[in-house]
Structure 1
């Protein structure tokens, strides 16, 4: 199976999400790179002709709008500038995609989403249903973050993670991130000539995470390799492969399928839909650090008991999402907390027999129930 994955061919990958960053789509003058984009659209059309369903996650609205509004710093000088640029540029961006896809006989649909749309369970299911219906109708959805209304507190901040979440919502088989580098290297290839490309990543561990570089080489986008690895965590946890390949050449998908370089993060066994959604959430309210015994218990599929908790951080209410950390700081799980932060801190490390007397009421038996927890 892994030998047939490079290129994510239609014979293996039924549904594919393709993410295009601002630096690839928009030139430094703020104009769409139409010649390059036509080659990508040709790639998409060829794959669809072979039966592959395609979803596009496209950056570029802020960069396009900033030029039209003559805003400094590419429209990113302030939140207000970015929102105005996005509102202006999104029209041009959607028109461009619709026109180029129409040239190939393909109907495009626009979807603008915010972080809340995919963090709220009901709205996430609505987005998932819309994507599914568009796929059934043979349409290519073009998705972007709705930067005209998103704020610093409620936004993805980069389209790498958005692409992974859209892949999860659409039940895609794979996600490909077109980048200014052709994969994950052992060091930043722009500054280290000895950096080596890693072609296959079976598990995202501390060694892989340490290779990430958070910078955006173009200064136009908002993500670097750190955001791509976070996207890989979300995608692979949802049962989808994720690839990072170069988008700096014409027809990048064809080039990759014909032997071009890239890095593939292999999918993990998919979790149940609700747990996959929970594991992929980006907004968490608190952090619960557990001892080694509790970590082993969670790995065996048990619920989190107060006795195994070493530390509670953050302000949260019952039902909020919290990260569960090992003693060394690794995030090992994510779940819905059964107590508010004040009570959770009071009962941390306490045995069940002692909790009723401490709180003055009959407590819930667990801090995070296994049915409302996903390992990450």
Structure 2
């Protein structure tokens, strides 16, 4: 196949993190854009990025990009692409779409035109006069129009990359695994330091920390749409999985704890950690944040507390942030990182953050408050 162009999609605000991950896999030539990172690689990168990217939403294969202001133009330019390089004769190829600030604003029309163009091209490629049965592997095609530029991609991931395969249960507002990993990667935490999540809910942040700490590929426990693509080949997938197995450091000792006020969430968190084979690595315990104390030093706290989105919750949240500040501030060697949409967080916590970063938790605009502890003495 040679070189392919891949697009790793990302939540707003963490594109640079995704780019850092892409580069760490050896794909240096990448371009960062709003909500995505674009890079060139060979087909083995499809396997490796799906297995390893902790912060990306999905990996798409770019088939073509062109200007289209009429339906004729969209049809002809889509038909001109080399669909036979990617789609076998029995491929299942639904088409999804979106359109922003473009003359071709009817998404359903764009989808059916792209579908028709692909069918016509494949009919010529495979010399067919009958319709395709689409019983084979899945190739989900997307036509995305932005300011009259059409980008045509195929989704290589299938289910979004945040679905790691360990979530047996969850609470009512679970944090996406990709965002949890981002929160950890935005700290300087290293696996030999203590790590605490005082509002652990179903355990997502501690589990992601354990995966990072032991260098376990987040996708090792799941399947991807491109597993079944013949032109990538089982051999490339097996090699990528072997590499992930070889690079995992299962012997790395970890000190990771998750606390929550709700004992039911603690039970769910334990089940989720067990599902990932990390049950022995993480300590989960029912506890209120105000009761948190520790004799350990130079640790890290990563917290996603309640935000108090409803007016009635405001007084409770203010009290909670006050208790949090009282519990964390005496730990002067510890670094604390808190994600919340509450505008007066610093006032109630009792201290201004060393640094703030704007992030989105789903559609909620939040700030990531960062409090840096003392640095450990040089060995």
TM-score (normalizing by structure 1): 0.23
Larger relative helix fraction: 1
- Find the structure with the greater CA-based Rg: 2
TM-score (normalizing by structure 2): 0.23
